[in-house]
């Protein structure tokens, strides 16, 4: 057996008042890393030695490195830019090509930056973290590089024509930096300027203008957020004829105040509710409120004349009104149109809205989308044309990239080949009834008919931060799970955004258990339908979904045969003191307040673990370089489970940040560990006996 129960005597020590595992929060402390190495060795011995591990990892690596993946690109002037990883380019290359070349099966790419070569030359584990290409000349870029996957980055100015970094150009040391071009020789920047310049959450508190050739510390401050806010933010609108500067303070994860920055550094408040998303495009201001406003329900999309709105005019054009089954997903501008993506029972739809004279907007469908599928606008060119790139996919439908212009027929530009066998598989949608009577949708992907009776099922969920789980093609899950006869299930529980703001807000703060009740209801419904049994039902989730898994472990252990908890939050009494945790108090509550601490203790898996319950086998994973969700959450929970004598394995990747992996090799290894663990436990009729 790969685990052994310890005697239960002397295992009832509480971690509420005195946490014996605080030393595991020392991310790179010698004792902590020694403990991590021991646990990693145990997990490797238990799982990587399995006869099926190496072949599975090789098949997953093949998928991740496949050369015929769609190279998704964004237009910047005359070129389409793409970042690409494969077996040859482990850390990846930033490259570009022309639209004419992009149409070919094998485009000719101009490599701008080889991250592998840069990492080798500088002796750093650089990872690509994006670039801001200067508009409208597209001659320079602000390149962001992360050390081994962390959220903190270094910034360097890059000359696209010379294909080299600019000597004496804009450079910023490692920090959680926000940077934006203001003009050819000026940037807006928020970074770590020393004591008092960061919020409690560790993000920039000030926005400053930094002129080329001047010291960073002399950058002039133009805006300041509070230390208790999440972050300060800026945006320069480069649209010809509508050049404008905006700054904002994020009061918490969901509320913000946005201002127009005038030429004399004055601030004009964009007077929308602080829970609304607002975006200016040319003469329009588009607002997506998360609460009722101006007689319109939460989740609407509203349009105003920007200048008239600033002058106090609240004449509104309603672009979208939600109902109990339909919610707004995304919207994107082209030069003359607004492309609207909506969800009806979590399947996406897409249409085009066109502003007309007198404020009226016309609407028409953009594309037909198959049932139980998803459509996403990959890129548009809002300054110049009505061009769009559109991706359509589904659980069993490989992605197809369409290209077109509003008002003309679109064409299929690229298509991903099928990566796993789908014969005999089907996608269905069911609804479970939660404890309070709420109908909770979920997708089932697996054998169309199960004459052999219940089988192994992997149930995935997230349930937080208004994140929606829509249909998508996942070749890794396809090869690692579906091809072997497993069924995959995606639960659209409350806390997400599948039915708009109300669906999210129903599970905020003290109401968090509703998300857990929803997930448990789906698990129960799967058993009631004969799709699986508790012994053959596994669950997995990451980040906030890792907290969800912790809740399943401590609240509903009888429903599951195995649980995988990835890069999780688990200590809900200290999360706000660890890395970016202070930015999430609007989602969960603040442990330092008397009103919130009781319910946070109740939903804190770390504090709910006991010796006198039988838990299913658990695999906890995290990353040493995760500077968003502290690896201490997973470490401490694993140590506590071990102390209490429960079955647990732990794996911590040394790099990769919150993604948990810095390259395809590490991703394939992590996925092979997870699916080997799950398949081993869920294909048994009963849970293994404890030694």
Question: Are the C-beta atoms of 327 and 299 separated by less than 8 Å?
Answer: yes
What is the C-alpha separation between 173 and 156, in angstroms, rounded? 9
Sign of CA dihedral 438, 299, 462, 670: positive
Among residues 543, 583, 623, 662, which one is catalytic? 543
Tell me the CA end-to-end span of the chain in Å, nearest whole number.
8
Map 297-365 to HEC letters. Answer: CCCCEEEEEHHHHHCCCCCCEEEECCECCEEEEEEEECCCCEEEEEEECCEEEEEEEEECHHHCEEEEE
What is the C-alpha separation between 542 and 462, in angstroms, rounded? 7
Q: 381: closest CA among 57, 107, 158, 99?
A: 99
Torsion angle, alpha carbons of 161, 166, 167, 170, to 10: 160
Among residues 284, 607, 658, 669, which one is catalytic? 658
Q: Where are the alpha helices (DSSP H) in 408-543?
A: 475-477, 501-505, 513-528
Q: What is the CA radius of gyration of the chain?
A: 25
For residue 192, the SS3 value is coil
Is the bond leading into 200 cis (omega within 30 degrees of zero)? no
Annotated active-site residue 658? The verdict is: yes
Question: Are the C-beta atoms of 413 and 103 separated by less than 8 Å?
Answer: yes
Sign of CA dihedral 522, 525, 529, 535: positive
**Long-range Cβ contact pairs of 264-271 (< 8 A, separation 24 or more):** 265/222, 267/223, 268/310, 270/246, 270/309, 270/310, 271/309
3-state percent helix, strand, coil for the chain, nearest multiple of 5: 25, 35, 45
What is the C-alpha separation between 675 and 488, in angstroms, rounded? 12
Q: What strands lie across the sheet with 347-355, from one edge to the other?
A: 326-333, 338-344, 347-355, 361-365
* 6 token code pair: 């310890």
Active site residues: 543, 658
């Amino acid at each position: 057996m790969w685990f052994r129960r310890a005697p239960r005597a002397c295992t009832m020590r509480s971690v509420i008042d005195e946490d014996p595992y605080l030393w595991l929060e020392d991310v790179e402390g010698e004792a902590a890393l020694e403990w991590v190495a021991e646990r990693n060795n145990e997990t490797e011995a238990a799982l990587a030695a399995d006869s099926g591990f190496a072949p599975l990892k090789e098949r997953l690596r093949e998928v991740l490195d496949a050369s015929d993946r769609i190279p998704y690109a964004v237009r910047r002037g005359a070129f389409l830019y793409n970042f690409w990883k494969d077996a040859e380019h482990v850390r990846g290359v930033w490259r570009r090509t022309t639209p004419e070349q992009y149409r070919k099966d094998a485009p000719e790419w101009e490599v701008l930056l080889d991250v592998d070569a840069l990492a080798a030359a500088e002796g750093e584990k650089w990872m690509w973290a994006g670039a801001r290409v200067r508009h409208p000349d597209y001659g320079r870029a602000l390149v962001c590089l992360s050390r081994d996957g962390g959220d903190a980055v270094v910034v360097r100015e890059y000359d696209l024509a010379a294909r080299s970094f600019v000597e004496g150009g804009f450079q910023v040391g490692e920090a959680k930096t926000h940077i934006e071009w203001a003009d050819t020789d000026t940037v807006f920047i928020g970074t770590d300027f020393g004591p008092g310049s960061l919020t409690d959450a560790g993000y920039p508190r000030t926005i400053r203008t930094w002129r080329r050739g001047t010291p960073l510390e002399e950058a002039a401050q133009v805006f300041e957020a509070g230390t208790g806010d999440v972050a300060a933010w800026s945006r320069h609108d480069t649209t010809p004829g509508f050049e404008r500067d905006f700054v904002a303070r994020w009061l918490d994860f969901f509320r913000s105040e946005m201002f127009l920055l005038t030429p004399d550094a004055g601030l004009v408040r964009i007077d929308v509710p602080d829970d609304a998303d607002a975006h200016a495009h040319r003469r329009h201001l588009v607002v997506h409120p998360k609460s009722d406003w101006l007689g319109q329900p939460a989740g609407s999309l509203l349009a105003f004349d920007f200048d008239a709105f600033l002058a106090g005019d609240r004449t509104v054009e309603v672009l979208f009104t939600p109902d109990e089954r339909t919610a707004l997903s995304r919207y994107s501008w082209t030069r003359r149109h607004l492309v609207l993506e909506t969800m009806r029972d979590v399947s996406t739809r897409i249409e085009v809205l066109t502003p007309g004279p007198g404020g009226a907007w016309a609407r028409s469908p953009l594309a037909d989308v198959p049932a139980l599928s998803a459509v996403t606008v990959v890129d548009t060119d809002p300054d110049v044309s009505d061009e769009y790139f559109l991706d359509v996919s589904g659980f069993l439908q490989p992605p197809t990239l369409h290209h077109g212009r509003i008002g003309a027929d679109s064409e299929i530009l690229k298509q991903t080949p099928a990566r796993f066998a789908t014969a005999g598989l089907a996608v269905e949608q069911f609804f479970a009834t939660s404890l309070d009577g709420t109908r909770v949708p979920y997708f089932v992907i697996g054998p169309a008919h199960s004459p052999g009776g219940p089988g192994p099922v992997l149930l995935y969920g997230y349930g937080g931060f208004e994140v929606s789980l829509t249909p998508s093609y996942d070749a890794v899950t396809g090869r690692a799970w579906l091809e072997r006869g497993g069924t995959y299930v995606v639960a659209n529980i409350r806390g997400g955004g599948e039915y708009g703001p109300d669906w999210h807000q129903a599970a905020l703060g003290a109401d968090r258990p509703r998300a857990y009740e929803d997930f448990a209801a789906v698990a129960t419904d799967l058993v009631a339908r004969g799709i699986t049994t508790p012994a053959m039902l596994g669950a997995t989730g990451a980040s906030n979904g890792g907290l969800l898994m912790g809740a399943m472990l401590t609240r509903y252990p009888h429903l599951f045969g195995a649980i995988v908890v990835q890069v999780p939050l688990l200590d809900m009494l200290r999360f706000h003191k660890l890395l970016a945790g202070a930015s999430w108090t609007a989602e969960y509550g603040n442990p330092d307040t008397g009103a919130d601490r009781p319910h946070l203790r109740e939903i804190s898996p770390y504090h709910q673990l006991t010796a006198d319950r039988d838990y299913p086998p658990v695999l906890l994973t995290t990353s040493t370089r995760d500077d968003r969700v502290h690896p201490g959450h997973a470490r401490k929970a694993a140590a506590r489970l071990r102390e209490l004598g429960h079955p647990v394995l732990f794996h911590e990747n040394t790099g990769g940040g919150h993604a948990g992996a810095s390259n395809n090799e590490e991703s394939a290894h992590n996925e092979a560990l997870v699916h080997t663990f799950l398949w081993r436990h869920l294909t048994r009729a009963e849970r293994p006996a404890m030694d």
